[in-house]
Chain A
Amino acid sequence: MPKKKILPEQPPQGFSRRDFLKGASVVASTGLMVAPEAAAAAPEHSSEILGPAAVPITLQVNGKPYSLSVEPRVTLLDALRNQLDLTGAKKVCDRGVCGACTVIMEGHPVYACNILAIEAEGRRIETIESLGTQGELHPVMAAFVNHDAQQCGFCTPGFVVACKAFLDKHPDPSREDVEHGLGGNLCRCGTYAGIREAVLEAAQTLKGGRANG
């Protein structure tokens, strides 16, 4: 089935909360959280209207194709959680503020609560579940454990995914870079001190890994 072409040619490049939101708003183009002026400026997309009934889509998640039937209004986050039982990404603010639902789409961190599942079709999606397991922790996960960068743990998967995406683009960050680059995720228990240390440690581990091969 032909789909509306609603994805930007160039995915968002930024990692600050501001850029993150901007990116998400372009990708979503649903007006969910687009600033009014941005919404007004967004080009009209004239093609076939989908829904409200469920439509078949295929999502590329963690390297595998999944065939789903979703109403066009279903977010990527709800599709991942409710249909694929990938529950690492959480719904907390439900409007693109807190980062608890962060997943990686085409190599970039995005708020899965701000993207419709139908918009994610054809895009490579990576969730926390693909990065590592309890037995085989990804270096970012291991660093979170080492520095106790978690308390209740509800924001943690979103933070880990955001950190991974951040380090992919900034392999040797300063503390200031970390504070800027991870400004799009919120924690209530107060684990930022550990996270700051964890990201710096993970950067070193990953660099070592790259150097070794």
Chain B
Amino acid sequence: MDKTKYDWPSENDRSLIGTRVKRVDGPAKASGRAKYTYDINRPGLLISKIYRSPYAHAKITAIDTSEAEKLPGVKAVQVILGVGKEVNWVGDEIIALAAVSEDVANDALAKIKVQFEELPHLVVEEDLKQAGSFAKKAGNKTAGEPAGAFTDPDLVVSEGYYGIACITHCCLESHGNIAEWNGDKLLTYSSTQNVSGLPGQIGQALREQGLDVSDKNIETVCNYVGGGFGSKFSPDEWGIHVAQLAKTTGKPVKLMLDRNMEMEAAGARPSCYAKIKVGAKKDGTLVAWDSHSWGTGGPTGAGMPPLPYVLDIPNRSSAHTSISTHTGPARAWRAPDHPQAAALTICALDDLAAKLNMDPIDLLTLNADLSAGDRGKVYREELQIASELSDWKKLWHPRGDKTAGHIKRGLGVSMHTWGGRGHNSNCMVSIHPDGSVETTLGSQDLGTGTRTAIAVVAAETLGLPVEAITVNIGDSKFPASGASGGSTTIGGVSASTRRASVDARDQLFAIIAPILGVPADDLMATGGKIQAKGDSSKQLSWKEACAKLQVKTIQATGKNPDAGKGKLGDSGVGGVQIADVSVDTETGLIKINKMVAAQDCGLIISMKTAESQVLGALIMGITYALFEERIMDQATGRMLNNNLEFYKLAGIGDIGELVVHMMTGPGYDERGTIGLGEPPVISPGAAISNAVANAIGVRVPTIPLTPDKVLAALAKGGVA
């Protein structure tokens, strides 16, 4: 592809890109001044609460809200699911109300009377036999000749059962919205990953409810969001109810989910369990795969994860069964389907390596070219680096730590992939006569560092320090930018910001060129100056240059994609992670000694926040590998741990030493930006499970690897 002026500067010409810039909104967050949706208070604000189903599956036979309506301070009561309708999970919404305070709203909920006729429910799915008619065939993929391949008598075959439980998103800022009408205009403050995409969704839903509102009159604002992880793309039903309640009452109405509702209804990552058979030649060359998997994502079941994962074993058959359960519906959770696919596939390959008496790193290295495209080279490099950083050659041992004592140490490895191409994005860059600079786009920063990356790109392009850039995001009235999901944000916003910044800079060059007496093409913006290339005697400071604009602000808009204006991003990454654990064979407790991540994501814009993404993914991965699980009770249909004391998140003492190695330089940088939010969260489950198997000599079949499961596995074998 031809070089363009929009291309990323080459390594020698970068002063900010790839450096460790401090998060630009760090001070606002660390000082407690960042205002989240939950923190916004409006004059006359009413608080909304939702009456939710206590049953997993039931028909509503009677509703009486009269006592609630009579309660002083209750301003509106709105039935969502009327008599005759069915509820399909504990926590399904039935009635929304608005009152003058949270306490009054809760008092009103207690006065609502709803009667139900209970219907049969299923809320557990690990035992496929229990699923009955709720289980449906959902996909069957075959390549090569798996049946024939397994008949080869020289094939070494490993068979096993593997699984990974359903977890919830557990955003610390629960889902919620504030709706405020001003005439026919609706303003919503929403805790969302999708600022630009919300007004259209809200407008459509309200019009379906008979409210006459135009999308152009809806504005969504979200400056800070307290976690999303894939669960906050839509306004949600409750976001529509608050808009209706606000219309009815003529007051702003706020609804933030209570913790139990957040856990039960606002996000779940589908479970997946599988019986897997995998075969290789004696030298480790992978030949054949056969899996039958099942899992649930709630009422609509769950599709098949990409099995086998990463490595396209030549002869393969993968069948999947989807189980519909009466549980809160699934939502996209970081890298949808991939953590499940990694946990199932890489654990099965690790067991095969053990059967082959082979180091699993050697097995993965040998078969790395079964990955897509030419990524085998990336994996081999990453396996090598991760091996060195984890001291693998010294610390790894064949399965089962044979040293004396009840603390057994082991190492495990996993690998993963993701796409991460940039989404559609528009960015407007403004250069004002006083020298101030704004970038304006309808994006959002989930804590990934989006604001910081935008500032770095604009500052680099304009030759300014990061602090010189004001980043305006979080408002749907700004130029539209995509939802933050699927690791698409960095590719989108960095490209639109780069293109807008280059065009704005060139407009400034065109004005300055005659003043300095050099052609505009010979000017450069660097170190807070506009100067002639190679002649620093011809220069103006940034402020002096902008003053030449007199009273006219420069504005330029950039977009992504934009064919012909530089190849700024790509798709497709690989990553490798290694876990080093110690297992107490008397208590079943697992301690993380160290986690190593080697990750590529093309050109890194902001190194500090990129590393934070990987560190955070490792910690989130440790959490789901060891602690996290949505525990459902089949007898009552309820979630038993819909709170933070029994829904376990890792604490600061649970994480061990964390080492992050970002793959940069030749072979990586020239690909441009690629997203990073998903990939590093995929491998921890498999890496940690494999490390535990290496330590204790026996596989703990399902994640989370809780002490009871460790002890149960040890009771069947291993080193204890």
Q: B20-41 interface mask toward A, CB cutoff 8 Å, 1 = contact, 0 = none?
A: 0011011111111111101101
| Interface assignment of B227: CB less than 8 Å from any CB of chain A | yes
| Interface assignment of B103: CB less than 8 Å from any CB of chain A | yes
A183 and B653 within 8 A (CB): yes
| Interface assignment of A116: CB less than 8 Å from any CB of chain B | no
| Interface assignment of B363: CB less than 8 Å from any CB of chain A | no
A148 and B22 within 8 A (CB): yes
Q: A149-185 interface mask toward B, CB cutoff 8 Å, 1 = contact, 0 = none?
A: 1111111110010000000000000000011101101
| Interface assignment of B609: CB less than 8 Å from any CB of chain A | yes
Restricting to B212-263, which residues have a CB under 8 Å from any CB of A? Answer: 224-229, 258-259
| CA A141 to CA B103, docked complex, whole Å | 33
Interface stretch, picked from B278-286, B415-423, B566-574, B616-624, is B616-624
B27 and A137 within 8 A (CB): yes
| Interface assignment of A201: CB less than 8 Å from any CB of chain B | no
Q: Which residue of A lies closest to B612 (CB)?
A: A148
B172 and A195 within 8 A (CB): no
| Interface assignment of A3: CB less than 8 Å from any CB of chain B | no
Restricting to A67-89, which residues have a CB under 8 Å from any CB of B? Answer: 71, 73-74, 78, 81-82, 85, 87-89
Q: Which residues of A contact B653 (CB under 8 A)?
A: 179-180, 183
A152 and B447 within 8 A (CB): yes
Q: Which residue of A lies closest to B623 (CB)?
A: A190
Give min CB distance, B455 to chain A, whole Å: 14
A134 and B31 within 8 A (CB): yes
B619 and A190 within 8 A (CB): yes
A82 and B615 within 8 A (CB): no
B643 and A87 within 8 A (CB): no
Q: Take A74-B103, A97-B643 as given contacts and tell me if A194 and B612 are in contact as well, using a CB distance cutoff of 8 Å.
A: yes
Q: Which residues of B contact A195 (CB under 8 A)?
A: 652
| CA A185 to CA B612, docked complex, whole Å | 19
| CA A193 to CA B613, docked complex, whole Å | 11
| Interface assignment of A120: CB less than 8 Å from any CB of chain B | no
| Interface assignment of B184: CB less than 8 Å from any CB of chain A | no
Q: Which residues of A contact B643 (CB under 8 A)?
A: 93, 95, 97
Q: Take A134-B27, A137-B27, A155-B172 as given contacts and tell me if A192 and B35 are in contact as well, using a CB distance cutoff of 8 Å.
A: no
Q: Which of B22, B27, B39, B620 contacts A87 (CB 8 A)?
A: B39
| Interface assignment of A129: CB less than 8 Å from any CB of chain B | yes
| CA A191 to CA B448, docked complex, whole Å | 11
| Interface assignment of B401: CB less than 8 Å from any CB of chain A | no
A190 and B617 within 8 A (CB): yes
| Interface assignment of A39: CB less than 8 Å from any CB of chain B | no
Q: Which residues of B contact A149 (CB under 8 A)?
A: 30
A153 and B616 within 8 A (CB): no
Q: Which of B225, B258, B612, B649 contacts A188 (CB 8 A)?
A: B649
| Interface assignment of A144: CB less than 8 Å from any CB of chain B | yes
Give min CB distance, A191 to chain B, whole Å: 6
| CA A195 to CA B615, docked complex, whole Å | 12
Q: Which residue of A lies closest to B38 (CB)?
A: A90
Q: Which residues of A contact B651 (CB under 8 A)?
A: 17, 179, 183, 185-186, 192
B172 and A152 within 8 A (CB): yes
Q: Which residues of B contact A157 (CB under 8 A)?
A: 29-32
| Interface assignment of A10: CB less than 8 Å from any CB of chain B | no
| Interface assignment of A133: CB less than 8 Å from any CB of chain B | yes
- Residue from the set A78, A98, A141, A187 with the largest chain B CB neighbour count within 10 Å: A187
Q: Take A154-B227, A192-B619 as given contacts and tell me if A97 and B645 are in contact as well, using a CB distance cutoff of 8 Å.
A: yes
A152 and B644 within 8 A (CB): no
| Interface assignment of A145: CB less than 8 Å from any CB of chain B | yes
B227 and A189 within 8 A (CB): yes
| Interface assignment of A118: CB less than 8 Å from any CB of chain B | no
Restricting to B1-51, which residues have a CB under 8 Å from any CB of A? Answer: 22-23, 25-36, 38-39, 41
| Interface assignment of A108: CB less than 8 Å from any CB of chain B | no
Q: Which residues of B contact A134 (CB under 8 A)?
A: 27-28, 31, 33
Give min CB distance, B48 to chain A, whole Å: 15
Q: B444-464 interface mask toward A, CB cutoff 8 Å, 1 = contact, 0 = none?
A: 001110000000000000000
Q: Which residues of A contact B155 (CB under 8 A)?
A: none
Q: Take A87-B39, A100-B172, A133-B31 as given contacts and tell me if A193 and B615 are in contact as well, using a CB distance cutoff of 8 Å.
A: yes
B31 and A137 within 8 A (CB): yes
Restricting to B655-680, which residues have a CB under 8 Å from any CB of A? Answer: 655, 658
Q: Which residues of B contact A65 (CB under 8 A)?
A: none
Q: Which residues of A contact B25 (CB under 8 A)?
A: 153
B31 and A178 within 8 A (CB): no
| Interface assignment of A92: CB less than 8 Å from any CB of chain B | yes
| Interface assignment of A128: CB less than 8 Å from any CB of chain B | yes
B35 and A87 within 8 A (CB): yes
Q: Which residues of B contact A127 (CB under 8 A)?
A: 32
A192 and B655 within 8 A (CB): yes
Q: Take A148-B23, A183-B651 as given contacts and tell me if A93 and B645 are in contact as well, using a CB distance cutoff of 8 Å.
A: yes
Q: Which residue of B lies closest to A129 (CB)?
A: B32
Q: Which residue of A lies closest to B613 (CB)?
A: A151
Q: Which residues of A contact B101 (CB under 8 A)?
A: 82
B644 and A145 within 8 A (CB): no
6 additional contacts, CB 8 Å, given A152-B226, A156-B32, A186-B172?
A82-B41, A88-B33, A97-B643, A151-B613, A183-B653, A196-B652
Q: Can you list 23 A-B pairs, Cβ within 8 angstroms, ordered by A?
A: A17-B651, A90-B36, A92-B259, A95-B644, A129-B32, A133-B33, A152-B172, A153-B25, A153-B28, A153-B34, A153-B224, A157-B29, A178-B652, A179-B651, A186-B649, A188-B170, A188-B227, A188-B649, A189-B620, A191-B619, A192-B651, A192-B655, A194-B612
- Give the 5 A-B CB pairs with smallest separation, nearest first: A88-B32, A190-B619, A154-B226, A153-B29, A190-B616
Q: Contact residues of B with A, CB < 8 Å?
A: 22-23, 25-36, 38-39, 41, 101-103, 170-174, 224-229, 258-259, 446-448, 608-609, 611-613, 615-620, 623, 643-645, 649-653, 655, 658
